[in-house]
Amino acid sequence: MLLASVAIILGLPLLLWSADKFVGGAASVARQFGLSPLLIGMLIIGFGTSAPEIIVSVIAALEGSSGIALGNAFGSNIANIALILGITALISPIAVRSEIIRKELPILLGLTFFAAWQLLDANLSKDDAFSLLGLFILLISWSIWTGLRGDKDALAEEFGEELNSKPANLKADTLWLIVGLILLIISSRILVWGAVEIATFFGVSDVVIGLTVIAIGTSLPELASSLVAVKKGEHDMALGNVIGSNMFNTLAVVGIAGVIHPMQVDSSFLYRDTLFMLILSVALFVFCIGLKGPGRLNRLEGGVFLLAYIGYTYYLVTSAFIA
């Protein structure tokens, strides 16, 4: 138990640090090879903050801990919306200016419903997983097509400014990319082992560990990037990070884990966690699109998100131990 706790305490910071180095190195290398700021923002920075989720879920799936893999993906989506955007909106209301954000929000909502529909038979088969990955490829293709079409957008400009503010060094960036990836894999392996050991010790489902400790931990990069973006007044980047991460989690993380290890889904996961994720996604869509006038996520709505997350986590933990 003590060793498992140490593994989580040390594994999470190492995971987040290595993910930051990996994503930063990948973005810098891509920029030096001529990839546009918009594409780097969408494909590497926006989705790249999900590197901890995908590596952890892949390791968990390879080891047969499917509960951690699925719980981590959906739990991170829940944390991204309710915890991260809740805290961010409480600090500074988030105005939705970018047209790309307005286009991606309905897509995110549709993808979330599709992923939930795939699980209705209480089973994530390889066919289901390949369907999710197929949609992910279509999403990436759409993003590339949009970028190559040369559309101008506030979100793209913010990504470009962020990239251009960092000095380029191909050798150093490549080294950090490689080192970051290696440490990502090592730290994920440590983290998954510690999580499984703790779940076994307390007699709780590994799904609960994935939904709470692992999901919150792997969502910290989104929290950090969103807070920094809001501090700079770059609201679209704060929201774009969360939307991109949730798309990646829903399609790529769940899809890859399902291909590696098809899994049975407990009914409680469907009617508790998946339903909660759907409700949060609908609420985010309504708040940000705006029924009357420009959409925004204000402090009241951020507070509702945060309270909902606290209540959900409390219920999750207490019911797990009572059971």
> Domain residue spans in the chain?
2-322
Phi, psi of 167 (to 5 degrees): -65, 145
Phi, psi of 42 (to 5 degrees): -75, -45
The structure's pTM equals 0.82
Question: Using CA atoms, how far apart are residues 11 and 4, in angstroms rounded to an integer?
Answer: 10
Phi, psi of 204 (to 5 degrees): -105, 160
For range 7-28, the mean pLDDT: 75
150-186 residue pLDDT tens:
555 444 555 555 555 556 676 777 787 788 778 877 8
> Does 2-322 carry CATH code 3.90.1140.10?
no
Question: Using CA atoms, how far apart are residues 190 and 62, in angstroms rounded to an integer?
Answer: 14
Strands 263-264 and 123-124 come out as antiparallel
User: What would you report as the CA-atom Rg of the chain, rounded to the nearest whole angstrom?
Assistant: 19
112-141 residue pLDDT tens:
999 999 999 888 999 999 999 999 888 877
For residues 158 and 315, the model is more confident at 315
Element (H, E) at 123: strand 123-124
Name residue, tokens 């949009």.
Answer: 146
Cβ density class 48-58: b for 16+ within 10 Å, e for less:
bbbbbbbbbbb
